[in-house]
Amino acid sequence: MIREYDALIVGAGGSGLYAALEASDAARAGGGKRPLRTAVLSKLHPMRSHTGAAQGGIGAALGNVEEDRPEWHAFDTVKGGDYLVDQRAAVLLAEDAVRAVYDLENRGLAFSRTPDGKIDQRRFGGHTRNFGEGPVRRSCYAADRTGHQILQTLYQQCIKNGVEFFDEFYVMDVLLSGRRCCGVVAIELATGELHTFRAKAVLFATGGFGRMFRVTSNAYANTGDGPAVLARRGVPLQDMEFYQFHPTGIRGLGILITEAVRGEGGILRNRRGERFMERFAPTLLDLAPRDMISRAILSEIKSGNGVRGDGAIDDWVLLDATHLGKDVLEKKLPDITGFSRTYLGIDPVEAPIPVQPTAHYAMGGIPTDVDGRVIADAAGDVYEGLYAAGECACVSVHGANRLGTNSLVDLVVFGRRAGRSMAAYAQEAPFAVPPDDPDGPARAEIARLKDGSTGRPANVVRSRMETVMMEKVGIFRNERDLAEAERTVAELRGSWREVRVRDSSRRFNTDLLEVLELRNLLDLAYVTAAAARQRQESRGAHARDDHPQRDDTRWLRHSLAWLKGDGTVTDSRPVDVSTWAPRPRAY
């Protein structure tokens, strides 16, 4: 069946929903010539999107609790990203964050409050007053359920605006005619049927891909479908070597313990009870940026100061929140208090939480301009009618390392801008003609995977990918490990072609879904390893033992990588450093 929409959004997380809201509101977004038909496709029910897991808050220089300025926020974002951030985009992010937070409040988001009724704010890593003097209270929050509140607010507003939702539709392919997007092809999970959606403007907002690593804070659905589908159709990916490990995942499980615990005063300690961040970041201590704290934890572990003390990579340290008291923990951090009690049997009121770094956030992804238009080449030319926003996109406001609370800002600031720009485009543009037999390649792929032969088990391929990415493309990297990872993932991509789906049914065939998702993860893991190997310097989350210094002369560039058959082709783009000249990054 073929359906037609003006604006089509793939993904119902914070970025997709904000874009849908704006695109559907044609009066504001597109000059009000006529209402736009807007639809959202999502492989999950919108309220199960991963944005719902965001705990700690959304950064905006409201200055409700102490003096703060958007300029300081922009500077922290640039410095936090180790100067690989595009600076005009960072200024836009920080300035628009203030409007965005009040907009969310006006639309119904129930933020936590100060005693005098203002939106309350707390500290978060890397966010400082007056260009680095000390921590500032910038994170606006709704207890530790901020993302859930954002999703709920935006979903309700989309329903009000008449946005059409196709829940549990899995997008498998994008329809491109040269550099013009014409639509997508999706499987309806409930029936197994393939559907073609034609659209004037298509936005990808499919979230992150932490599932390529063994220990991760990401949900099972975070498999990078958008970037992988586009990459297989010739779209480049940008800065894929920069993958963030969050310092505090629950030991062994990876479930996130939000930075808000340290924002409220929690302290990291080693097996001797020492506050080891005093040695690594004397000014910001436990509120230094995530890349630095993750490296500090791993260095402590490697030198035998982890709790077990054997120096093995799976050792852990302790997050001590006992001095915060029951009231703060249960009122301001109820979810993580519950996680610790449920998953570890440890009450954080009485004992420290065992933590270790967990794969968390993709700084890289689909390159876009500040209006969400997808960039096609090193010259910055864009695709027509093709957009991306949220974690799957790379604007780039996070550079080499994202600051906590800046993803939620990214979703609402750039999701909104992308929605507006889609609407303006769709008001004028005609429908493009899709290729002949638009769902043919997807149909053929499914038929091949379900041909009844006995192939390799997908779980074996998946497990090898997760292990090699964790051990060789993790917090510390070097040429030998990266070359091995690249080779292994290349082999695994070959093995995937021998995988077959064992469940032949059509309805809710999760076996098929997982095999398709695995292919996406493998393609992105491959680009990540290749891009990491290529970048011979250390910057932000990309720390190379064999190239320990940042090298602005050679590497102050965004990397671009194209998937080409069994290999990758690379190029680079300039970084916008128009406001702050790169300086050494100390905290």
Ligand X SMILES: Cc1cc2nc3c(=O)[nH]c(=O)nc-3n(C[C@H](O)[C@H](O)[C@H](O)COP(=O)(O)OP(=O)(O)OC[C@H]3O[C@@H](n4cnc5c(N)ncnc54)[C@H](O)[C@@H]3O)c2cc1C
Q: Which residues are annotated as catalytic?
A: 290
How far apart CA 395 and CA 384 sit, in angstroms, is 17
* DSSP codes, 268-291: EE-TT---THHHH-TTTGGGS-HH
Choose which of 5, 11, 401, 416 interacts with ligand X (CB under 6 A): 11
Binding ligand X (rule: CB under 6 A), the pick from 29, 54, 61, 250 is 54
Q: Does 205 bind ligand X (CB under 6 A)?
A: yes
Rounded to a whole number of angstroms, the minimum distance from the CB of residue 84 to ligand X is 18
What residues between 242 and 301 interact with ligand X by CB under 6 A? 256
Query: Residues 166 to 195: which contact ligand X by CB under 6 A?
Result: 170-171
Rank residues 398 and 544 by Cβ distance to ligand X and give the closer one: 398
Find the binder of ligand X among 143, 212, 411, 446 (CB under 6 A).
411
Restricted to residues 209-228, the positions that interact with ligand X (CB under 6 A) are 217-218, 221, 225
What are the φ/ψ torsions at residue 222 (nearest 5 degrees)?
A: -85, 80
Nearer to ligand X, 23 or 556 (CB): 23
State whether residue 224 is helix, strand or coil: coil
The residue (of 368 and 405) whose beta carbon lies closer to ligand X is 405
Residue 555 touching ligand X (CB under 6 A)? no
Q: Which residues of 437-453 are buried (b: 16+ CB within 10 A; e: fewer)?
A: ebbebbeebbeebbeee
Q: Does residue 55 touch ligand X according to CB under 6 A?
A: yes
Cβ closer to ligand X: 221 or 525? 221
390 binds ligand X (CB under 6 A): yes
Pattern of binders to ligand X over 359-378, x per CB under 6 A?
--x-----------------
Q: With binding defined as CB under 6 A, does residue 394 bind ligand X?
A: no
Number of residues located near ligand X, criterion CB under 6 A: 43
How many whole angstroms separate alpha carbon 233 and alpha carbon 219? 26
Q: What residue type is assigned to position 79 of the chain?
A: K
Q: Is 407 in the site for ligand X (CB under 6 A)?
A: yes
> Judged by CB, which is closer to ligand X: 87, or 206?
206
**Considering the complex, what minimum distance in angstroms separates the CB of residue 36 from ligand X?**
20
Closer by beta carbon to ligand X, 262 or else 547: 262
* Residue with nearest beta carbon to ligand X: 13
Sign of CA dihedral 451, 454, 458, 461: negative
* Cα 437 to Cα 91: distance, rounded to the nearest angstrom: 44
Q: Contact between 196 and ligand X (CB under 6 A)?
A: no
Stretch that binds ligand X, among 51-59, 284-292, 321-329, 430-438 (CB under 6 A): 51-59
Residue 153 contacts ligand X per CB under 6 A: no
Q: Does 425 bind ligand X (CB under 6 A)?
A: no
Q: Quick check: 212 and 521 in contact, CB under 8 A? A: yes
| C-alpha separations of 546 from 82, 174, 482, 530 in Å | 19, 39, 11, 16
Residue 76 engages ligand X in binding (rule: CB under 6 A) = no
Of the pair 458, 482, the CB lying nearest ligand X is at 458
Give the Å distances, CA to CA, from 98 to 61, 103, 105, 309: 6, 9, 11, 45
DSSP assignment of 401-442, as one string?
A: SPPTTHHHHHHHHHHHHHHHHHHHHHHHPPPPPPPSSTTHHH
Q: Is 357 in the site for ligand X (CB under 6 A)?
A: no
- Distance in Å, CB of 40 to ligand X, minimum: 8
- Measure the CA–CA gap between 387 and 381, rounded to whole angstroms: 13
518 touches ligand X by CB under 6 A: no
Which range binds ligand X by CB under 6 A, 153-161, 292-300, 406-414, 534-542? 406-414
Q: State the nearest-atom distance from the C-beta of 585 to ligand X, in Å.
A: 21
Question: Which one, 256 or 521, has the nearer CB to ligand X?
Answer: 256
**50 belongs to the binding site for ligand X (CB under 6 A):** yes
Burial track 340-375 (b if 16+ CB lie within 10 A, e otherwise): beeebebebbeebbbbbbbbbbbbbbbbbbbbbbbb
Q: Minimum distance between the CB of residue 523 and ligand X, rounded to whole angstroms?
A: 13
Q: Which residue in the block uniquely carries the two structure tokens 């939702």?
A: 165
Residue nearer to ligand X on the CB measure, 203 or 482: 203
Q: What distance in Å separates the CA atoms of residue 143 and residue 510, rounded to the nearest whole number?
A: 34
Cα dihedral: 565, 489, 213, 190 (round 10): 50
CB neighbours (10 Å) of residue 167? 17
User: Could you say whether residue 408 binds ligand X (CB under 6 A)?
Assistant: yes
Q: Which amino acid is at 389?
A: A
Spatial separation of the C-alpha atoms in residues 17 and 306, rounded to whole Å:
42
Q: Where are the alpha helices (DSSP H) in 497-551?
A: 510-534
User: Residue 246 Cβ, how far from ligand X at the closest point, in Å?
Assistant: 8
Residues that bind ligand X (CB under 6 A): 10-16, 41-44, 46, 49-51, 53-58, 146-147, 170-171, 205-208, 217-218, 221, 225, 256, 361, 390-392, 405-408, 411
